[in-house]
C-alpha cells in the first residue's frame, strides 16, 4: 500500500486521485490521506509572510519524514528548489497547458478591459506583468483556491482574475476561461502545469513504483526553468517567470525578472541542450543586465 499525502482542495484532490488511479493501474494499491497545510489555513495574509509557496508543502513533507505517508503529489510551481533533507522529487508527470488565463466577468479580453478595471491575483509574477502591460488597470490581491477565486469574481469583488489554465482544465472548468495569455509575453511560473511526486530519499520501493509516470521531455523543460529559479534565488516574493520549450534536440528558455509594480522588467531568452546549464546561463545573462538590482529590491 502506498499512502499518498494530499491537500484538501478540489484541485489537489484531483491531482492525488489522478496519481492514485495511474499507480493502481500499474498494480500498486494506494490510499489518499488529506493533510491541511499552513497555506490552506492562513488566507488573510500574503503567502510570503507565512513561508512562501513552501507553506503548501510543509505539513505533508513532515508527515513523510515521520513515516505517516509515503508519497506527496504537488503542483511543481509550488515546490521550492531546495527540499528538506531526506526527501527527493521522484517523478514529474507530463505537463498540461502551462499558460495563464484571464477569466473576465464581462467576457472582455485582456487588451479590451476598460481602464480602471480590477484584476484579482495574489501572484507577484502576475501582478508585475499585468502592471507592465496595462498600467491603467487596478490589481487586487486575491487568495484562495480556484473555486474560491471564481466565486469572488462572480460576487463582483473584481472584474477579472488570472488563473493557471492547467488548474481550470483539471477541474473541468476550462470553458470559463476568457483568454489564454501568450506565454511569450505573459511568462508562466517555473514548472507551471506540471505535477511532481515527492518521496523519502531512501524509499526505493515508492520511487520504483512511480518511475513509469515520469515524462522525460517535461522533466528536461522544468529542469531548465528550476535551474534558473535556483540560480536567481527567486521565490514567491520575487516577480519571476520562466518557460522552456523543446526545439529539435535543444531547449529554448524565456524568462523575466521584474519589480512588483511593473515599472522595470529584465527579459531574456537562450537556447541549449543541457537543461541545468541553460537555466544557469540565462540567469547569468539576466543578472548581467540588471536583474540583481531587481531581486535585491
Under DSSP, is residue 289 helix (H, G, I), strand (E, B) or coil? helix
Judge residue 120's burial from the number of C-beta atoms within 10 Å of its C-beta, 0-12 exposed, 13-18 middle, 19 or more buried. buried
Would the CA dihedral through 65, 81, 190, 250 be positive or negative? negative
Known catalytic membership, residue 285 = no
For residues 255-264, one letter each, b for 16 or more C-beta atoms within 10 angstroms of the residue's C-beta and e for the rest, the string is bbbbbbebeb
Are 282 and 255 spatial neighbours (Cβ–Cβ below 8 Å)?
yes
Residue with C-alpha cell 531587481? Answer: 294
Under DSSP, is residue 173 helix (H, G, I), strand (E, B) or coil? coil
Under DSSP, is residue 296 helix (H, G, I), strand (E, B) or coil? helix
CA distance 37 to 125: 23
Instruction: State the DSSP code for 37.
Output: -
Catalytic-role residue among 40, 44, 78, 136: 78
Which residue blocks in the chain are alpha helix, DSSP H?
10-25, 38-41, 58-65, 124-133, 146-154, 165-170, 204-210, 216-232, 275-286, 292-296
- All three cell numbers of 277: 546549464
Q: Which residues are catalytic?
A: 78
Amino acid at each position: 500500500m502506498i499512502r499518498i499525502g494530499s491537500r484538501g482542495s478540489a484541485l489537489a484532490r484531483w491531482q492525488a486521485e489522478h496519481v492514485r488511479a495511474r499507480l493502481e493501474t500499474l498494480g500498486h494499491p494506494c490510499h489518499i490521506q488529506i493533510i491541511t497545510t499552513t497555506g490552506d489555513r492562513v488566507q488573510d495574509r500574503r503567502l510570503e509572510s507565512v513561508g512562501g509557496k513552501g507553506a503548501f508543502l510543509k505539513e505533508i513533507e513532515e508527515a513523510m519524514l515521520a513515516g505517516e505517508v509515503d508519497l506527496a503529489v504537488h503542483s511543481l510551481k509550488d515546490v521550492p528548489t531546495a527540499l528538506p533533507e531526506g526527501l527527493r522529487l521522484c517523478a514529474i508527470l507530463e505537463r498540461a497547458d502551462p499558460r495563464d488565463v484571464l477569466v473576465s466577468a464581462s467576457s472582455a479580453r485582456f487588451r479590451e478591459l476598460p481602464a480602471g478595471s480590477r484584476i484579482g491575483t495574489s501572484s507577484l509574477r502576475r501582478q508585475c506583468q499585468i502592471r507592465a502591460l496595462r498600467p491603467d488597470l487596478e490589481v487586487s490581491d486575491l487568495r484562495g483556491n480556484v473555486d474560491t477565486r471564481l466565486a469572488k469574481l462572480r460576487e463582483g469583488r473584481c472584474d477579472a482574475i488570472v488563473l493557471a489554465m492547467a488548474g481550470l482544465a483539471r477541474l473541468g472548468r476550462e470553458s470559463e476561461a476568457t483568454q489564454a495569455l501568450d506565454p511569450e509575453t505573459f511568462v508562466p511560473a517555473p514548472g507551471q502545469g506540471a505535477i511532481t511526486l515527492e518521496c523519502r530519499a531512501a524509499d526505493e520501493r515508492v520511487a520504483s513504483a512511480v518511475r513509469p509516470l515520469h515524462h522525460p521531455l517535461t522533466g528536461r523543460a522544468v529542469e531548465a526553468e528550476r535551474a534558473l529559479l535556483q540560480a536567481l534565488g527567486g521565490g514567491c516574493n520575487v516577480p519571476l517567470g520562466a518557460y522552456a520549450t523543446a526545439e529539435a534536440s535543444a531547449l529554448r528558455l524565456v524568462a523575466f525578472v521584474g519589480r512588483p509594480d511593473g515599472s522595470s522588467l529584465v527579459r531574456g531568452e537562450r537556447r541549449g541542450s543541457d537543461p541545468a546549464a541553460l537555466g544557469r546561463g540565462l540567469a547569468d545573462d539576466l543578472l548581467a543586465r540588471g536583474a540583481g538590482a531587481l531581486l535585491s529590491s
